[in-house]
Amino acid sequence: MSHLPLALVGLLCIAMVIAAVVAIRGRSLPIAILAAGLVSLVASVLFLVLASPDVAMTEAAIGSGLTTFLFFFVLGRVRGGQDDGQPDGGQS
Amino acid sequence: MIKRLLALLLLAAIGSVFAVLLLGYTPDAELNLTARYYAERTAADIGAANIVTAIVVTYRGLDTLGEVTVLFLSATIVGLVLAQGSGPGRSPSVRTPVGELLGTGARVLAPLILLLGVYVFVNGHLTPGGGFQGGAIVASGMLLLLLADPLRQFSHGLISTIESVAGIAYVAIGVLGLVLAGGFLDNRILPLGTLGELASAGAIPLIYSLIGLKVGAEFSSMLASLSETEEL
């Protein structure tokens, strides 16, 4: 592997970690869902850079497309029920 | 506190395992025996421009049949579990209408997403992607429609008909390969055609279209039954 893809791979990995941290620690649920989708999107770009376009397609279609849509769909269903977005109080 | 320390230790251990793997990695200078066989023989034997598709659909077609079966079983079980909670007459609960942006955007985007999904699985033997990816794209288009109009009802009869017909036709093509060509799911029951054309690679476009329809129908039926369950 030449140096340019190596730098690109490193950059993508850092972006994935940042998006994952945002998805876990983020206060707002929609932003957390989008960040989780972003992890998959960056992962699919990473697969593309690593020359496996088929895996990249799967990751983009299922990980970042279908799952993100599904989370938003479920979020729309549970809205108005119990408020789950409160800051971590220690229990759980 | 001690829990956190343990988690950190575990993370460090996993990280060091991966680091050792990564540092000890040297790319192969040439393809190994199996990979070389596939790379050299695919174009002549299978006629598919996408080697991954040739492996997934033909060389390892039986594994793909297993994968499709697993997906079918999980879709069935999801439908079974969710059907327990929902009565036939679903109460038309009052929901807040979706926003203008989502409603209009879904009407514009859903046909394009469905078209892209069909394109992906029809061109599975030429370009990256194939039945599973195309099916997932089709299902996300359906999910977008559901998102824009939560009260929309998909016809379960139509979905299960598509799925059953696609599944039976897939196995029938496999058996046809056993009779007419070299073995189960052999793609050479149809002429191989010119490498790189849409109607080439024998039965692969047909098989991958069936897989795409089946996967799309399975995901859609899961999503539809998810959307039709009563709110708990």
Of B50, B53, B140, the CB nearest to A65: B140
Length of chain A: 92
Model pLDDT for residues B164-218, shown as the tens digit of each residue: 888 888 888 888 877 777 777 777 777 777 776 666 777 788 888 888 888 888 8
Of A54, A58, A72, the CB nearest to B147: A72
ipTM beyond cut 0.90 = no
Q: Contact, B48 vs B199, CB < 8 A?
A: no
Per-residue model confidence (pLDDT) at position A91 = 42
Higher pLDDT, A91 or B96: B96
Q: Could you tell me which residues come within 8 angstroms of residue A49 by beta carbon, excluding any fewer than 6 positions away?
A: A5, A8, A9, A12
Evaluate if residue B150 carries a pLDDT over 80.
no
Per-residue model confidence (pLDDT) at position B10 = 94
Length of chain B: 232
The CA distance from B179 to the nearest CA of chain A, in Å, is 31
Evaluate if residue B112 carries a pLDDT over 70.
yes
Q: Which of B36-50, B107-121, B192-206 has the highest mean predicted lDDT (pLDDT)? A: B107-121
Q: Could you tell me which residues come within 8 angstroms of residue A76 by beta carbon, excluding any fewer than 6 positions away?
A: B147, B150
Measured between beta carbons, the chain A residues lying within 8 angstroms of B75 are: none
The CA distance from B68 to the nearest CA of chain A, in Å, is 15
Q: Contact, B47 vs B195, CB < 8 A?
A: yes
Higher pLDDT, B86 or B29: B29
Cβ–Cβ contact A11 with B under 8 A: no
Measured between beta carbons, the chain A residues lying within 8 angstroms of B147 are: 69, 72-73, 76
- Tokens standing for residue A57: 């397609």
The CA distance from B130 to the nearest CA of chain A, in Å, is 8
Per-residue model confidence (pLDDT) at position B95 = 60
pLDDT band at B156; cut points 50, 70, 90: confident
